Structure 1
């Protein structure tokens, strides 16, 4: 009641006029339509966000898959004598990778920001999508 009195005083109208307008608005046939429109707008926003998340996850999956495919097809097996040294070097490189990833995530542009929203049509099926080298 105090809030209603304060609102009426600010608007310089009677309490009954404000109460009447509020009740009329609540009971009007378009009140449900306004609520539905507000809910629809909110659902549309949520849908767009979910679509962006799906896109970003798709980019991450394709990036990882392309990298693994490239790595597996271009890395020769090591002889038994070189595996210990390679394992140590791999751990060192992994630590560097994690540090670089942390720096990029904290301040740099994200990969998803570098990829266009409208990706051109896919390459023919016979293309291996791998960089030359």
Structure 2
């Protein structure tokens, strides 16, 4: 590997520490400085990568938060629908207009309840016996 000679000036205390390290067996000033400069440049490069990708990672984090919120709304809707369907809803005859009107009213109540549950942050599944978050 080709090497290039550099002349540099160090403060006396730092130069003394370098001399002490280089006095150990198998160590040299050049090797110590190569390691130090390499480590410094690698850290600097990592910082540049972090700066470059930080904005994108923040956007991805926000997108994942929105997906999590949407999944919560969907789960709440499904849980309430199942509760309404199994506990309240009765089968309708085909020509039962009064029953269908009642069904439309119940659907409106269902949608209102989903909105209320989501806005309060309560989870229907966690509120059911034997369930926990």
TM-score, L = length of structure 1: 0.46
Q: Taking CA–CA contacts closer than 8 Å with sequence separation of 6 or more, which of the two structures ends up with the larger relative contact order?
A: 1
TM-score, L = length of structure 2: 0.46
Larger-Rg structure: 2
